[in-house]
Amino acid sequence: MRFSHKVHNKYKDIEEFIRKHAYLMFPLLGTAIYFICNKLLELNIDTEFNSNIINVSAVLAGFLFSSLGIIISLPQNRFIERLKLIGYMEIIYRAMFLGIIFLISTLILGLFNIGYNLKILLFVSGLSETILSSYYLYKVTKLSSKSK
């Protein structure tokens, strides 16, 4: 096997690993970006942060619940059946459930005004999962509508 084929195969293996574990990788990436921005820009969070994080967490959790309902109610065509067969729908469900868990945890911590740093980490992770789930929702509904 040529070296270029080995490199290409290794690249595809890494790409597949990231795709299968995106629901774990994306929150880590979001958290890393937050810490880098926080160190470089020295972000100061105002006193209204707690009430704002409660509101935003509730809205994003509601969006994820709605997205989950849309994904579940998609027609059972060949495209959706194949996604289920290869385990891709399980990845989508995991991303949505983790996002809901992160955001509801942030909401509870915000209501009781405890765990400031944990609240920020959970919110950033929940926001990352929401972005990932939005992408999944867009791609799956778009491609599912084209399938028969």
Note the pTM of the prediction, 2 decimals: 0.85
Helix H, strand E, coil C: the string for 77-143 is: CHHHHHHHHHCHHHHHHHHHHHHHHHHHHHHHHHHHCCCHHHHHHHHHHHHHHHHHHHHHHHHHHHH
pLDDT digits (tens, 9 = 90+) for 68-126: 999 988 888 888 899 889 888 999 999 999 999 999 999 999 999 888 889 989 999 99
